[in-house]
Amino acid sequence: MKKGLIILFVLLVPFVFAQGVETYVQSELASFEEQQRADIYDMKESLASLERGQTFQLAKLEGEVQKLSNKVDFLMPEVEKPAKLSAPNYLLVLLFVNIGLLIAAIILIIYLRKRYSAHIKHEEFEKENIHPVPEDLVLYVKAALLLKKSLHDIRLDLASKGWSPSMIEHAIHAARR
């Protein structure tokens, strides 16, 4: 019988304990829900208070705007016809003078650019022909190169005829161009 009582006790203790825990959890849940309701109510009250304050400020601003618009209406006379605007004559004259000056400047730039480019081409020609060589000497060197003569033979042949070494070199250079 002792064994039966111990088994009964072991089976009933968890049941009684579970009942106590369930009751505790339910009471805690109820108090939490009550706290949440109170917080929500407080939040609704603060939002309502904020809304009332904003509505009051908006009404106050609208009143100020109305006062200012009445003052502006009083200060500004009503105009039935808008005034006709036209440019003064001196502005039109200045406009045409500026357009004329712009066209003259463009023409001058184009003219000077052409003259400058022609001047540069002449300078380049003079740079290329720093040492002018007689045309017949250049033609002689070209003919010799076409006949497949070696440069050494051309130099010796021209040196024997009395041409200076610098003139010979310039003639060879001019003939190769």
What the block records as the tokens of 45 is 């009250």
- Alpha-carbon 100 to chain mean position: 36
- What pLDDT, on the 0 to 100 scale, is given for residue 160? 93
For residue range 130-161, what is the model confidence (pLDDT) as tens digits?
667 888 888 999 999 999 998 899 999 999 99
Least confident range from 5-14, 63-72, 111-120: namely 5-14
Residue 177 is predicted with a pLDDT of 74
**Rounded to the nearest 5 degrees, what angle is found at the Cα of 147, between the Cα atoms of 160 and 152?**
40
Tell me the mean pLDDT in the region 158-169. 89
pLDDT of residue 103: 96
Name the band, by pLDDT with cuts 50, 70 and 90, for residue 32. Answer: confident
- What is the distance between the alpha carbons of residues 132 and 139, in angstroms, rounded to a whole number? 14
pLDDT of residue 69: 73
Q: Average pLDDT in the 68-73 region? A: 68
Residue scoring higher pLDDT (10 or 80): 80
| For residues 56-85, average pLDDT | 75
Residue 97, pLDDT score: 93
- Tell me, what's the pLDDT at 67? 79
pLDDT at 114: 83
